[in-house]
Structure 1
Amino acid sequence: MTTHYIDLTLLPDPEFSHAHLWRALYAKLHRALVQLETSVIGVSFPEYRLRPQTLGQVLRLHGEPTPLEQLMGTDWLKGMRDHVQIAALSPVPAGTQHRVVQRRQFKTSAERLRRRRMQRKDETAEQAAAAIPLSVEQKPNLPYVQLRSSSSAQSFYLWIELGDLQASPSPGGFTAYGLGQAGRGSIPWF
């Protein structure tokens, strides 16, 4: 249950792009959630829009007061404090609806899928191309944060999708990115 929230608002910066600031903030949050080994802090993006695709400027952290205070008591925002305005811990407004904010993954590169298939099935490039046509590529139209995997150093897109509004919360924990999964782990939406 998420009864409280903290808003983090990205401030404009002439030296860094909005995308660069999002990438830095979200990567730091992910590392902090992993380090704390918590699945009780969720995120939302109150300014989320599909047209134009944007997460906006606000990252909202959701949870109970103790885990949120524990997170904010760490030094996870080191290097970002000049770029973020931090609001006070506040209770969620009464009567709010809920929704799951989750990651969506897409097959965006037939070439990458072919290379992976060649490795896993010991196939030639021709066999993999026959098995995976270009038509499998999907063109996502969701807002995203571009991140870098700490384990593989590969860059990837973390596409964010909003579930339907619901009158009551759906139970479940959150991933190390603060996202719900498989329709579970909703946050208050306001």
Structure 2
Amino acid sequence: MDHYLDLRLRADPEFPQHQLMDALFTRLHRVLVQRGSTAIGLSFPEARGLHGGLGARMRLHGTASALEPLASPAWLVGMKDHLEIAGVLEVPANTSWISVRRVQAKSNVDRLRRRQMKRKGWTAEEAAAAIPAAAAERLDLPFLSIRSASTGQTFRLFIRQQPAAVMRAGNFNAYGFSTEATLPSF
């Protein structure tokens, strides 16, 4: 994680910023899946909680050789007019560290009830009594709205960025997130 690539969204009167960020993330996800990449991490330096959103900047982290192909706008067909792409740059010295990961809310109460019925042999009434509708978890985190390639359904991908005490190496998933690795924060 010694280099980074910033992708900054330009203001656009026709499209809200969150919609452009969703589209940019979807394209990045496709590229990471196609390449089978586990060496590129993703952060949002301007993220400000649920109502502040993710901001206008997406930062990719990795080695120079892993990031160079993403600095070319070929994978950004249809997005070029909405972006400013800086070249691949070295991470500044003496940075702090952050952990960036996906967080999934347990918001589908019916699914939770069905799971308990199957696992514990509960009846529907027992599951409803044990798991009330108010048990649905609500997250106060920024998110991306993306469409699942496998099911076609749109869902919210919640993102938690939090400070980390030390640098930890690790692999990243096809979303650019990791449960163990940290990223430079500057």
TM-score, normalisation: structure 2:
0.89
Q: Which has the higher helix share?
A: 2
2:5 aligned partner, one-letter code: I
SS of aligned partner of 1:29: helix
Asked whether the equivalents of residues 71 and 88 of structure 2 are also in contact (C-alpha less than 8 Å), the reply is no
Q: Which residue of 1 aligns with 2:175?
A: 177
SS of residue in 2 equivalent to 1:145: strand
The answer on 1:188 being equivalent to 2:160 is no
1:79 matched residue in structure 2: 78
Question: 8 Å contact 1:53–1:142 — kept in the other structure?
Answer: no
Aligned-partner SS, 1:25: helix
CA gap of 1:115–1:28, structure 2 versus 1, over 3 A, is: farther
Moved over 6 A (4+): 115-124
Pair 51,119 (structure 1): closer, same or farther in 2 beyond 3 Å: closer
Deviation at 1:125, TM superposition (A): 5.6
Structure 1, unpaired ranges of 5+: none
What residue in structure 1 maps to residue 154 of structure 2?
Answer: 155
Q: Secondary structure at the match of 1:22?
A: helix
Across the aligned residues of Structure 1 and Structure 2, the Cα RMSD in angstroms comes to 2.3
Q: Is the 8 A contact 2:3 2:91 kept in 1?
A: yes
Q: 1:117 to 1:83 in 2, by over 3 A?
A: farther
Find the residue that maps to 1:76 and give its secondary structure: helix
Opposite residue 83 of structure 2, the aligned amino acid is V
Query: Given the two structures, how large is their TM-score scaled by the length of structure 1?
Result: 0.87
Q: For 1:119 and 1:24, locate their aligned partners in 2 and report how far apart those are by CA, in whole Å.
A: 38
Counterparts of 1:1-190 in structure 2, within 5 Å, are 2-50=1-49, 52-73=51-72, 75-114=74-113, 126=125, 128-166=127-165, 168-181=166-179, 184-190=180-186
Deviating more after overlay: 51-60 vs 77-86: 51-60
Q: Is the 8 A contact 1:103 1:161 kept in 2?
A: yes
Q: 1:80 to 1:19 in 2, by over 3 A?
A: same
Q: Aligned residues, how many?
A: 186
Task: Describe the superposition over 1:25-71 as per-residue Cα deviations: whole angstroms up to 9, x where unpaired.
Answer: 00000000000111100011111112743111000010000010123
Q: Which amino acid aligns with 1:21?
A: L
Residue pair 1:53, 1:141 contacting (<8 A) in 2 also: no
Deviations 1:52-104 (A, max 9, x none): 43111000010000010123347221111111110111100001011111111
Judge conservation of contact 2:164–2:182 (CA < 8 Å) in 1. no
Q: Classify 1:65/1:118 alpha carbon distance in 2 versus 1 (closer, same or farther; 3 Å).
A: same
Percent identity of equivalent pairs: 45
Gaps of 5+ in 2: none
Q: Does the CA contact (< 8 Å) of 2:6 and 2:85 recur in 1?
A: yes
2-side partners of 1:108 and 1:15: how far apart?
A: 32
